[in-house]
Amino acid sequence: MAKETQQLDRVVIRFAGDSGDGMQLTGDRFTSETAQLGNDISTLPNFPAEIRAPAGTLPGVSSFQVHFADFDILTPGDAPNVLVAMNPAALKANLTDLPRGATIIVNTDEFTKRNLVKVGYEKSPLDDGSLASYHVHPVALTSMTVGALADHPISKKDAERAKNMFALGMLSWLYSRPHASTLEFLRKKFAARPELVAANIAAFEAGWSFGETTEAFAVRYEVKPARMHTGRYRNITGNTGLALGLVAAGVRAKLPVVLGAYPITPASDILHELSKHKKFGVTTVQAEDEIAAAGIALGASYGGSLGITTTSGPGVALKSETISLALMLELPLVVIDVQRAGPSTGMPTKTEQADLNMALYGRHGEAPVAVIAPRSPADCFDAAIEACRIALTYRTPVLLLSDGYIANGSEPWLLPVVEDLPDLRVEFASEPNGEDGKFLPYLRDPETLARPWAVPGTPGLEHRIGGLEKKDITGDISYDPANHDFMVRTRAARIERIRVEDVAVEDPSGQAKVLVLGWGSTFGPIGAACRDLRQRGLNIAQAHLRHLNPLPANLSQVLGAYDKVVIPEMNLGQLAQLIRGRFGTDVIAYNQVRGLPFTSSELAAMLEEVVKNV
């Protein structure tokens, strides 16, 4: 009998299980299927730092949340409508996030006495009535998968591992997802082992058939495609967006791109992605440490390439001396910091925005550099190009502050036309620029204050390089106090001369008295919270900063137009401190450092109080 199909406008699903249960892969495949259907998407992977925590324990729980809708969405969702829990630990770790009435699909095979004890359950929550306020669907995922693969020439262990594909097939049926791409993915992933290809496809199809035939699911759901701008889209993570942006910048600059990087969570995927693009003139070097990685990138810039180095907070600390050297040499260098919860090793798989002060001030001496931050996974592409534009035009290090939430999250990305991207070509010095036929390496461009970029080996352009203070114009070593004062001020003025776009304000009513100012990945939660308040008749304005040094020229005017300014940050108030110090604005700082992004509901509740009390 055909089952009823019910239309929904949005759904939030969270897959949760052990680190070895393949939840990240399952979530990623479900997301890819959803992207092909044309829904708007936002995702939140969440996984432990340990390579493999003890099986069945709370520290070992890995999850992947995907929010998809038939309209424009801004966040991965505050709470799941559906939880797929592969064991008791996954259920217990995520249950407090579920609203009453949510759907729970549990793998009953893992609810053994031993597994229950591991997480502190005296009795099974499936039997004691504690889940009465949820719609619980008990499914023997493991044993049904093993049964479906009984005729396949694989071990029982391999058969059990395929239970995530059974779950994916079941959810793909339940939410009417196209699945041809998943089957093709499995063929490629296990191409070296045909028996695993057949087994995983069989597990997926068994899950699909189970959803289609079981009486447990009386209704199938459908979420129609979202209305989006015309064009070609792909699903993209923040790290992939940064990598492709760097490739595009190299193409538009007509320069080789050289990445010096040391693997570090959560930035390593940029190195992995860039290593695939050698045909575009990209060279990737996995260095022995963070200091060497920065040195490789700076050396590449000295040699006439676009030097890039990627890392997270601990790596920026190690690279700081090389960043200072790049500032003194006045050469382009792009440093990408995918922020994570600190300090020290901190929580390496959790997100934070606490590196802003380090980016702005984390060097010895007066050493200002440009600082920018993308606001979403798709925005990472444009932010990477902007970082390269500034570095190449103004001959300066640029710090780009992404974070773990953006890096691992994904959303649809409208592919740009390459010819429409900024022209980043630079002119290298080719002949002496002094009246007496000498090369003057610090004779600056009057508009940008950038010095000439001379490729080593160019005849007649020999010049001194190094970290010692240089004499203005000639580049000779100088200990003259007046010259040092002049050079310090000139390097600072060069950063202030960087042309950046004015900050835009979203204030539909034009009558708001409260402005919410954000930067980086708070864009989505802030936008969703403001949207919620406006739908309830409350006036509120929102502005978001991409450029954090220099700040947009119109920011002072924007701040002065509102009675209250609220700055939510995943730190203890670093942008708030900067705004207070620079403009004297008495901002309201709203801060958290939990390793998780803000939820739109908590921001909306806080902002509602501010708006009503202005």
Given the structure tokens 């391999």, which residue do they identify? 158
544 — pLDDT class (breaks 50, 70, 90): very high
- The dihedral of CA 333, 337, 338, 344: what is its sign? positive
- Tell me the percentage of the chain whose pLDDT exceeds 90: 96
Q: Above 80 in pLDDT, residue 52? A: no
pLDDT of residue 434: 92
**Residue length of the chain:** 614
| Other Cβ atoms within 10 Å of 460 Cβ, number | 12
473 — pLDDT class (breaks 50, 70, 90): very high
| Other Cβ atoms within 10 Å of 549 Cβ, number | 20
Q: Which two tokens stand for residue 230?
A: 């015309």
Domains of the chain: 4-223 (3.40.920.10), 234-420 (3.40.50.970), 427-499 (no CATH), 505-612 (3.40.50.920)
Q: Above 70 in pLDDT, residue 447? A: yes
Residue 12 β-bridge partners: 67
Given the structure tokens 């600390």, which residue do they identify? 317
- The dihedral of CA 118, 123, 124, 125: what is its sign? negative
β pairing state of 61-69 and 10-18: antiparallel
Q: If we measure between CA atoms, which residue out of 369, 373, 361 comes closest to residue 398?
A: 369
Q: What are phi and psi of 445, to 5 degrees?
A: -65, 130
290 — pLDDT class (breaks 50, 70, 90): very high
Peptide bond into 266 cis (omega under 30): yes
**Chain segment 476-527, per-residue pLDDT in tens:** 999 999 999 999 999 999 999 999 999 999 999 999 999 999 999 999 999 9
261, 286 contact by CB (below 8 A): yes
- The dihedral of CA 357, 360, 361, 363: what is its sign? positive
Model pTM? 0.95
Query: How far apart, in Å, are the Cα atoms of 530 and each of 518, 567, 589?
Result: 12, 13, 16
**Rounded average pLDDT over 341-345:** 96
pLDDT of residue 53: 83
pLDDT of residue 412: 96
- Determine the Cα–Cα distance for residues 139 and 347; give it in Å rounded to an integer: 34
Query: How far apart, in Å, are the Cα atoms of 485 and each of 364, 388, 466?
Result: 16, 28, 18
pLDDT of residue 1: 61
**Chain segment 199-209, per-residue pLDDT in tens:** 999 999 999 99
- Tell me the percentage of the chain whose pLDDT exceeds 70: 100
- Determine the Cα–Cα distance for residues 274 and 309; give it in Å rounded to an integer: 12
Give me the DSSP letters along 569-593.
Answer: ESSSSHHHHHHHHHH----EEEE--
pLDDT of residue 50: 83
Of the given ranges (105-109, 149-153, 322-326, 434-438), which has the lowest mean pLDDT? Answer: 434-438
580 — pLDDT class (breaks 50, 70, 90): very high
Q: Which amino acid is at 475?
A: G
The DSSP call for residue 62 is: E
